[in-house]
Amino acid sequence: MNQSEKFMKEAIDLSIDNIDRGGGPFGAVIVKDGKIVAAAANSVTNDNDPTAHAEVNAIRKASKILNTFNLSDCEIYTSCEPCPMCLGAIYWSGIKTVYYGNTKKDAAKIEFDDQFIYDELDKPIHDRHVKFIPLMRSEAQKAFVKWASTENKTEY
């Protein structure tokens, strides 16, 4: 086993063991400088948190441990190809390399249908299953005007 395979094995072991803990079959680890800085399994049902996918949990943990919201010097190993939420989280975190085990097609076969969300994202906002209703845009823009004119802000 090379180093990448060892990290992936950790993510996979988490995904398998998590089933016994009542969680979903997903695990992820985040690696920096050849060392694991955070490891997490899916905890949606155990934590009552629909955002608690393995990748999101691992990113949150790594960010806390490394004390930064910028993980651009990290890699993520995930037991399954990320869903759109996790992919978004990966992009926002700055992570540049994703190793994945199962594919999203494999996930769909056991009823985790990420493809539905990928398809929804591609649709015009008014054709989606979820209803999108624009409201008070000009009022909302006040925050953006204020942000644009604020100095000494932390950008991200």
* Residue list 117-136, contact with a second copy (CB under 8 A): 117-118, 120-122, 125, 129-136
Nearest to 93 by CA among 76, 77, 70, 75: 70
Site string for a second copy, 86-105 (x = CB under 8 A): xxxxxxxxxxxxxxxxxx--
Q: Which residue type, as a one-letter code, is found at position 10?
A: E
Record the tokens describing residue 80, joined without a space: 């399954």
**Least Å from the CB of residue 147 to a second copy:** 4
The yes-or-no answer on residue 10 being catalytic is no
Instruction: Identify which of residues 9 and 32 has a Cβ nearer to a second copy in the complex.
Output: 9
CB 7 within 8 A of CB 77: yes
Would you count residue 77 as binding a second copy (CB under 8 A)? yes
Exactly one of 32, 37, 60, 115 binds a second copy (CB under 8 A); that residue is: 60
Write the DSSP symbol of residue 45.
H
Record the tokens describing residue 47, joined without a space: 């934590």
Q: Which of residues 18-47 bind a second copy (CB under 8 A)?
A: 18-19, 22, 24-27, 44-45, 47
- Contacts with a second copy by CB under 8 A: the residue count is 92
Which residues fall within 8 angstroms of residue 65, CB to CB, at 6 or more apart? 37, 38
Exactly one of 34, 126, 143, 151 binds a second copy (CB under 8 A); that residue is: 143
**Least Å from the CB of residue 111 to a second copy:** 7
Q: Locate tokens 């932390």: which residue?
A: 154
Residue 10, H or E segment: helix 3-20
Residue 108, H or E segment: helix 104-109
Would you count residue 54 as binding a second copy (CB under 8 A)? no
Give helix 114-122 / helix 84-93 axis angle, nearest 10°: 70
Instruction: Identify which of residues 39 and 107 has a Cβ nearer to a second copy in the complex.
Output: 107
**Least Å from the CB of residue 21 to a second copy:** 11
State the catalytic residues.
Answer: 55
